[in-house]
């Protein structure tokens, strides 16, 4: 990732803390502020520029018990408290619940601490008001009722048997017959239509613990935090409870958004495939918005097309299309997000001279955001709903922009890594081929070339008879053939190494190929006193297979030449047959044979069968490696059967 983006995870952490719906402060080991939430600044009446300042400078009169709690947390303890009193500078009393815990660096050492606080003054005030004497309650009943009914949170006063003594309008509007229901004037907790058992009912648990119980419930499509605080008599017996319903729907959604953005940011580091990452992104987005119809498309500026690299759509299957008549193309052109209903899409299309009827199925709600790298739009990320016109909001646009930013950075990083790997592989391949070529050609090119030059020099002398000159001409011809064979082998092995070996298959008759190779090598075998035998199956006058004729001919030519080279006396037999429905070629000789422990090594480059690795025969040592590569290119197999002193048989099974 480029250096200018390296601070993004820190910025993301700052964003998550800043907009948290809780009072949060993150300090380093010296109690200097690193991050704070807006709610923290609001609740403690602080300015926004406290980052970097010391906590004790901001609160110079901080009580000793808080300072001691900080020091204990910096040593690894997690401390918390409930209903602790806090005095503001003007002497105002506030009540708080708090927690102080250490945070750790990557090496496991404590880097500082995190302080969570919650002002509960309002809740405590309610408890205090409800616990006052009956006389005082009657006196304040009129004013209290107005305040009570005006509260945004739902509040109810319960007695020790769930009977509702009093409830405000917010409470009654919230419950309206879902998980918390009225039953004969009582407030019961329900699940799947049944009242919860005492051991899991929050109210009963509160009566037993005599402390606050907190739970959550989905009521009429909203998420509520339910707080039950006990009311006790002078002896500490629970006589009832204050039940508060706080609508935390938006807070929970914000938390889910923060978690999803964090998950995507973390995954972008570990994924090596953009397709895999995008599938993960869709899965995460589905946790917070409707993302069943989702795609990410890359923009081709030259062709003015968009190509979907990952998409999931219940009605669309086209992966590539002209960008110009599409909403996605408009997002790319305008370099900004678009959030549109079906009617809005038609209007904006008309304004821009677009015929969106050619751009796929119409949808009820469409949301697209650009993917940008260094100011250049490279693609678009889109979600759409075919049924729900209220599927997305402006808040969802912000979420999509955050995700799109992270994706663009990831695509840039993957492109850089891919380009570096390609350059590295090309450089290594170039060095390897160069070294192999220079090392391998030295002996097999220079030796016959020296022979040719030497015999030519000899022939310049006029005292040699015609018979002697013919003998020298024959040696020159032999050295030339050897040089040509070496060069041919080097060219073949270079094609194999550079991936240029691409078989061209057609229907061929193996019997014809065997006959041709027999004729080509018959004179050479006769010249060294060997008998070359051709063996064909009489019941198969034609052996038609689908293969590359040139490669098969080259395979047989190398094997027959090797057999002649390594056979001092006797015969060489070549032929073909069908074995279990597959064509087999063979070359057998009565030569020197190959030890068992060398029968795999002979297929390695520049290796012959002798144990001391010395060259006992002419040749580059490339022949059998070329044969093996050609056989494998034809999806075939090669095996050898041999014993030292008895000869060898090479069998090729064609694919």
Pull the structure tokens for residue 579: 């074995």
**Domain 22-119 matches domain 501-653 at the CATH topology level:** no
Give pLDDT, residue 266. 83
523 to 510, 552, 568, 569, 575: CA distances (angstroms): 21, 21, 16, 15, 18
What pLDDT is attached to residue 358?
61
- Whole-number pLDDT of residue 75: 94
327: left (phi over 0), alpha (psi -120 to 50) or beta: alpha
- H/E element holding 353? none
Structure tokens at 198: 């005492």
Query: Which two structure tokens, joined as six digits, stand for 249?
Result: 């729907």
CATH node for 501-653: 3.30.565.10
- Is-above-0.75 flag for pTM? no
CA distance 623 to 398: 66
Give yes or no for a contact between 540 and 511, defined as CB atoms under 8 angstroms apart. yes
- pLDDT value, residue 137: 58
490 has which bridge partners?
Answer: none
Beta strands in 88-153 (DSSP E): 93-104, 110-119
Backbone angles phi, psi at 294, to 5 degrees: -140, 140
Check residue 183 and give its pLDDT.
40
The 3-state DSSP class for residue 319 equals coil
41 Cβ contact list (under 8 Å, min separation 6): 47, 48, 50
Rg (CA), the chain: 43
Question: What is residue 644's three-state secondary structure?
Answer: coil
Give the pLDDT confidence score for residue 128 in this predicted structure.
Answer: 78
Domain 123-247: homologous superfamily in CATH: PAS domain (3.30.450.20)
Does an H or E element contain 242, and which? Answer: strand 238-247
CATH architecture of 22-119: 2-Layer Sandwich (3.30)
Contact 508, 544 (CB under 8 A): yes
Q: Which residues of the chain have pLDDT under 70?
A: 1-8, 133-142, 176-200, 311, 314-319, 356-360, 416-464, 466, 468-469, 472, 474-475, 477-486, 489-490, 492-494, 497-498, 500, 605-621
297, 308 contact by CB (below 8 A):
yes
Chain centroid to Cα 184, Å, comes to 57
- Find the largest Cα–Cα distance for the chain: 148
In CATH terms, the superfamily for domain 252-497 is GAF domain (3.30.450.40)
DSSP state letters, 169-223: HHHHHHHTTSSEEEETTEEEEEETTEEPPTTT-HHHHHHHH-S-EEEEEEETTEE
Distance from C-alpha of 228 to C-alpha of 249, rounded to nearest angstrom: 19
In the chain, domain spans: 22-119, 123-247, 252-497, 501-653
The Cα–Cα gap between 172 and 251 comes to 22
> For the residues of 261-287, what is the DSSP string, one character each?
HHHHHHHHHH-S-HHHHHHHHHHHHTT
Residue 165 bridge partners (DSSP): none
- How far apart (Å, rounded) are the C-alpha atoms in residues 550 and 503? 9
pLDDT at 525: 92
Cα 249 to Cα 267: distance, rounded to the nearest angstrom: 27
Taking the C-alpha atoms of residue 27 and residue 29, their distance in angstroms, rounded to an integer, is 7
């Amino acid at each position: 990732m480029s250096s200018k983006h390296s601070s993004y995870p820190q910025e993301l952490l700052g964003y998550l803390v800043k907009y948290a719906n809780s009072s949060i402060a993150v300090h380093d080991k010296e109690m200097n502020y690193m991050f704070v939430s807006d709610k923290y600044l609001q609740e403690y009446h602080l300015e926004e520029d406290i980052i970097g300042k010391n906590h004790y400078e901001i609160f110079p009169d901080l009580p000793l018990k808080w300072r001691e709690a900080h020091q204990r947390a910096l040593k690894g303890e997690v401390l918390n408290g409930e209903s602790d009193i806090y005095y503001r500078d003007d002497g105002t009393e506030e009540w708080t619940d708090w927690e102080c815990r250490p945070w750790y660096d990557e090496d496991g050492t404590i880097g500082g601490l995190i302080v969570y606080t919650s002002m509960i003054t309002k809740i405590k005030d309610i408890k205090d008001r409800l616990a006052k004497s009956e006389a005082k309650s009657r006196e304040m009943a009129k004013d209290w009722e107005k305040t009570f009914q005006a509260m945004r949170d739902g509040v109810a006063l319960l007695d020790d048997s769930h009977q509702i003594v009093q409830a405000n309008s917010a409470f009654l509007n919230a419950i309206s017959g879902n998980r918390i229901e009225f039953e004969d004037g009582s407030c019961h907790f329900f699940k799947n239509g049944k009242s919860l058992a005492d051991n899991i009912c929050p109210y009963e648990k509160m009566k037993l613990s005599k402390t606050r119980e907190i739970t959550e419930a989905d009521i009429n499509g909203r998420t509520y935090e339910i707080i039950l605080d006990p009311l006790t008599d002078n002896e500490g017996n629970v006589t009832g409870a204050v039940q508060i319903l706080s609508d935390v729907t938006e807070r929970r959604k914000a938390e889910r958004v923060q978690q999803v953005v964090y998950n995507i940011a973390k995954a972008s580091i570990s994924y090596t495939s953009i397709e895999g990452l995008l599938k993960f992104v869709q899965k995460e987005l589905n946790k917070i918005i409707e993302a069943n119809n989702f795609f990410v498309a890359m923009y081709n500026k030259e062709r003015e097309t968009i190509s979907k690299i990952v998409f999931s759509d219940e009605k669309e299957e086209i992966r590539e299309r002209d960008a110009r008549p599409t909403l996605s193309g408009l997002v790319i052109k305008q370099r900004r997000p678009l959030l549109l209903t079906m009617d809005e899409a038609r209007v904006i299309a008309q304004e821009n001279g677009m015929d969106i009827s050619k751009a796929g199925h119409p949808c009820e709600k469409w949301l697209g955001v650009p993917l940008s790298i260094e100011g250049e739009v490279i693609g678009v990320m889109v979600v759409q709903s075919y049924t729900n016109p209220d599927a997305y909001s402006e808040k969802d646009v912000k979420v999509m922009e955050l995700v799109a930013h992270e994706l663009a950075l990831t695509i840039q990083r993957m492109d850089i890594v891919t380009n570096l790997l390609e350059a590295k592989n090309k450089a290594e391949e170039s060095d390897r081929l160069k070294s192999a070529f220079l090392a391998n050609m030295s002996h097999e090119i220079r030796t016959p070339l020296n022979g040719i030059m030497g015999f030519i020099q000899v022939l310049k002398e006029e005292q040699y008879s015609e018979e002697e000159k013919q003998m020298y001409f024959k040696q020159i011809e032999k050295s030339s053939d050897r040089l040509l064979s070496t060069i041919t082998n080097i060219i073949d092995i270079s094609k194999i190494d550079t991936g240029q070996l691409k078989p061209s298959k057609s229907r061929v008759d193996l019997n014809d190929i065997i006959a041709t190779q027999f004729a080509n090598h018959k004179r050479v075998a006769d010249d060294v006193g060997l008998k070359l035998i051709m063996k064909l199956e009489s019941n198969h006058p034609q052996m038609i297979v689908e293969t590359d004729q040139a490669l098969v001919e080259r395979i047989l030519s190398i094997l027959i030449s090797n057999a002649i080279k390594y056979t001092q006396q006797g015969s060489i037999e070549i032929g073909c047959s069908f074995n279990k429905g597959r064509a087999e070629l063979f070359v057998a000789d009565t030569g020197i044979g190959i030890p068992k422990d060398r029968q795999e090594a002979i297929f390695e480059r520049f290796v012959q069968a002798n144990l001391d690795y010395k060259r006992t025969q002419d040749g580059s040592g490339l022949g059998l490696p070329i044969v093996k590569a050609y056989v494998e290119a034809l999806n075939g197999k090669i095996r050898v059967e041999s014993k030292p002193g008895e000869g060898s048989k090479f069998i090729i099974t064609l694919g």
